[in-house]
Structure 1
């Protein structure tokens, strides 16, 4: 595979891993009665936050990479490992679904809470000099689609798969963090 295609594939897998968090939360939130218009708005809002949060992280990461060099690569890999471990471990905790009203400001608070991990991920990717536009668009696209799927499946399945999808997403981030550290 060419370098650009390899990077696109890697970024897509990372975007799916980060979007799995939105999917799993969407599964739980899908049990709350809502209209299709509301599901559509929630997905777009989560997708927008998954663009802006990592974008801010990438910009900050690029600034750090100019001053830290190789050390920044290890810091970024370590961040991916910690995010992955956090997602994996939290998937097995018995958290209640957020008691958040999903309209108005509630949608933004929901999207922010689901997207906060993508800021740290953006920081890691910025350290590695990742293609910024490609990365954030993939994050937004996959987060939007996976949020929609999560909300729809949550309505149908009542959250059966929630913890497993987040554990899978965390495993992917953990794998890429280890790969970056060991094979740099």
Structure 2
């Protein structure tokens, strides 16, 4: 395999992982404005990172199965999922009433981690349809979401909540652009 192709795939997946992690960052930013212990910062970050591994992996398995049976149509489906997800994230950033509020209890954190990583399932499905490398993809998704959640939690102490909406819109824009790029490669 060509080194340039591998580097390009790593770069592309890193940008997508960053885009998905921006949702976790924005929510972490809001949660970081509450009083949390250092241990809770770590628990929240690792839990979200773990679900950003589990959810896209499940989506990729389903996507690879569909890709084998659907062929070129799978690429169109993949692109459509990214476009819809990007539009959804952008529109959600303008919805001021849709803020999620959780308290840092065990059950709430679990529900929170699943909720924040649901978009990763859709992206994993898209990537499975496209045929990316699962281990590389989920490793990058987990790492980026964990680090961005941690950064959001820490930064949440220092900034106002307006930044969260902008970061979610940025993440949605990146996913939208990858959906368009995928459509243009067919």
User: Which category of TM-score, normalised to the shorter sequence, fits these structures?
Assistant: over 0.9
> Which residue is 2:131 aligned to?
129
The question of whether the paired residues in 2 share the 8 Å contact of 1:29 and 1:97 is answered with no
Report the Cα offset of residue 149 of structure 1. Answer: 0.6
> Which residue is 1:25 aligned to?
27
Out of 3, 6, 16, the position equivalent to 2:5 is 3
Out of 43, 46, 64, the position equivalent to 1:44 is 46
Unaligned runs of 5+ in 1: none
Out of 33, 36, 47, the position equivalent to 1:34 is 36
User: Residues 1-184 of structure 1: matches in 2 within 5 Å?
Assistant: 2-95=4-97, 97-184=99-186
Unaligned runs of 5+ in 2: none
TM-score by length of 2: 0.96
DSSP-derived class of the 1:20 partner: helix
Report the Cα offset of residue 88 of structure 1. Answer: 0.7
Distance, in Å, in 1 between the alignment partners of 2:179 and 2:56 is 16
Report the Cα offset of residue 44 of structure 1. Answer: 0.2
Report the Cα offset of residue 102 of structure 1. Answer: 1.2
Distance, in Å, in 1 between the alignment partners of 2:79 and 2:18 is 18
Distance, in Å, in 1 between the alignment partners of 2:126 and 2:105 is 32
Distance, in Å, in 1 between the alignment partners of 2:71 and 2:132 is 14
DSSP-derived class of the 1:9 partner: helix
Distance, in Å, in 1 between the alignment partners of 2:78 and 2:159 is 36
Report the Cα offset of residue 134 of structure 1. Answer: 0.3
Runs of 4 or more above 4 Å deviation:
none
Distance, in Å, in 1 between the alignment partners of 2:134 and 2:29 is 29
